[in-house]
Chain A
Amino acid sequence: MGRYIVQRVLAAFPVLLIVTLISFCIMQLVPGDPAVVMAGPQATAKEVEQVRVQLGLDKPFLTQLGTWLYGLLQGDLGRSILLGRGVSQAIGERLPITLTLALLSFLLTVAIGIPAGIIAALKQNTWIDQAVMTVALIGVSLPNFWLGLMLIIFFSVVLDLLPAGGYVTLSQGFWPWFKSLLLPTLSLGLLQMGLLARITRSTMLEVLRQDYIRTARAKGLPTFKVVAKHAFKNALIPIVTIIGIIFSLLLTGSVVIETVYSLPGLGRLLATSIFSRDYPVIQGGLLLTAAMFVGINLLVDVLYAFLDPRVRYD
């Protein structure tokens, strides 16, 4: 088991390396002179030169790469052009918000998505199944930012029950905090729920078809026990795989949702920095999100080993 974990960790390294390289090379893709782009259209030649030196763009490629990597190892991701502070600092301030949102959405997704999928599978081809799957399908087809806007229209403009945006910290009270996060969580989570429900259903159907389930039923076990004890654990494996994907979707979604609801999170930081060409932030943000994803997948792999003993003896 330990060996398996070490194997997985080692396998993640080359991926991380390439991820790092890609994050860095985004800057190199910019056509023309990045210093000009970043200094802005009104900048004088002197200001552009300042920006260039500040970013170290006057040095050869490998030196730039080396400097960046060296800084990485020390936890320094560079300085943001626009915000006037360190990238790590900027990210650090916003990360908790994004993570809170992601966690809440994740809980919502799992709490509704998995049971929905199980029920749909158990009642296959009945109206319950059709209904659940239709809702799930629609959920997967809606663009989440549009859903966010629709929710704002309905709950904020029409009903005036919830705020249309802005983040309220927990210190200002639980309810205000919760209300500011409710719609964003729904927008993010609603679509993931559809995906999870669909996958859970198809996995459960596969598992329920198996002979050992028939045996369990023939033994006279009540359906609930059959599902809980036998079916679910085996169905869990593909579901756990999806969790990695869902996490990635949550990070992606946060970019849009935070923009829609004006939440000062990592996603919005990335969006605005990309829009305003704040490359140090872009690089750092890309690297961080990708690294988180790799980390989550690693966790998923380890979880796998716990759930499926076959995997350990690979």
Chain B
Amino acid sequence: MTAGRNLVEVENLVKHFPIRKGFFSSRVTGYVQAVDDISFTVARGETLGLVGESGCGKSTTGRLLIRLLDPTSGRIMLNGADLAHIPPEELRTRRRDVQIIFQDPFSSLNPRKTVEGIIAEPLIVHRIGTKAERQARVAELLKLVGLAPDHARRYPHEFSGGQRQRIGIARALALNPKFIVCDEPVSALDVSIQAQIINLMRDLQKDLGLTYLFISHNLAVVRHIADRVAVMYLGKIVEMTDKHSLYESPKHPYTQALLSAIPIANPDRRRQRVVLTGDVPSPMAPPKGCRFNTRCPLAEQRCREIEPPLVDVGGGHKVACHLVTR
């Protein structure tokens, strides 16, 4: 139970999904290397933004952190306990400290349950309080997220997308968690509503002392809520630093590309054949060396052979690129 600066410490987290073929036995013919050896920390009360394209592994990381998926290897330290390697009993108790907010407000709430039933479920599962106490807690949570307590009797389909997301937030808060994984919580909402929800989340963070992992593909949104940002590509973290440094002076070519939104197309560079259609190489067969080398305009011979480590180039600004760390 260390009361260190960091609430969450992830070390060498790996998640490989086996690909099975065959109809009787399941022979494993390969692996999808969704998350490939990443490490990061999140300090108490801070928000770490996790950005990247679809398929880069950010959602997988989020689900690993709350143990909806089991890691292939690595450690997930929360408050001093390794979530990846504790017995089920203890895991169940620890679940109260880390919760998740989902992306799709339309599929994240059980259509057959009342709002009360949805928000109270975590309390019921952990046998907290009497029925009356739970009701009171639900009313309190609803007020906290900006809804009226008598909404508790209604059903999800009676609410708008933004309101449903608020309900999802209320549910995540039910157990008084310290750490919340936010998996693209505003991506499915209209822009004006996005702002409302982001502001709500910021207020809640301040008032309740929450720590967030904010996953998104939208850099503009992340800028509003994150303190630090990590950029992922094909299962690896390529750059990680505080917000200002990232947006003002990005060092990794990929980050620069993302920020300038210029697609990388350099016909002078020989391209490695891509197996899947789409721009990103398949996570089943990531390129040798730096994973970004197939699309990087500055790629050198070294980039195609040796994988660059994530190195601190000053002031906590970490980059994984040979050209930066030479």
A residues lining the B interface (CB < 8 Å): 7, 10-11
Contact = CB atoms under 8 A, between A and B. Distances in A.
3 contacts: A7-B23, A10-B23, A11-B23
Contacts of A10: 23
Interface residues of B, number: 1
A37 B248 CA distance: 91
Main secondary structure on chain A at its contact with chain B? helix
Main secondary structure on chain B at its contact with chain A? loop
A11 B23 CA distance: 8
Contacts of A11: 23
Interface of B: 23
Contacts, number: 3
B25 to A, nearest CB: 12
Nearest to A10: B23
Contacts of A7: 23
Contacts of B23: 7, 10-11
A50 B99 CA distance: 74
Cβ-closest 3 pairs across A and B:
A11-B23, A10-B23, A7-B23
A10 B23 CA distance: 9
A10 B25 CA distance: 13
Nearest to B23: A11
A116 to B, nearest CB: 37
Nearest to A8: B23
A7 B23 CA distance: 8
A7 B22 CA distance: 9
A139 to B, nearest CB: 36
A296 to B, nearest CB: 21
A46 to B, nearest CB: 50
A169 B23 CA distance: 47
B26 to A, nearest CB: 15
A312 to B, nearest CB: 16
B29 to A, nearest CB: 15
B27 to A, nearest CB: 14
A13 to B, nearest CB: 10
B148 to A, nearest CB: 40
A7 B21 CA distance: 12
A10 B24 CA distance: 10
A11 B22 CA distance: 11
B81 to A, nearest CB: 43
A64 B23 CA distance: 31
Nearest to A11: B23
A10 B22 CA distance: 11
A5 to B, nearest CB: 14
A105 B23 CA distance: 37
A294 to B, nearest CB: 16
A62 to B, nearest CB: 24
B118 to A, nearest CB: 33
B24 to A, nearest CB: 8
A293 to B, nearest CB: 20
A7 B24 CA distance: 11
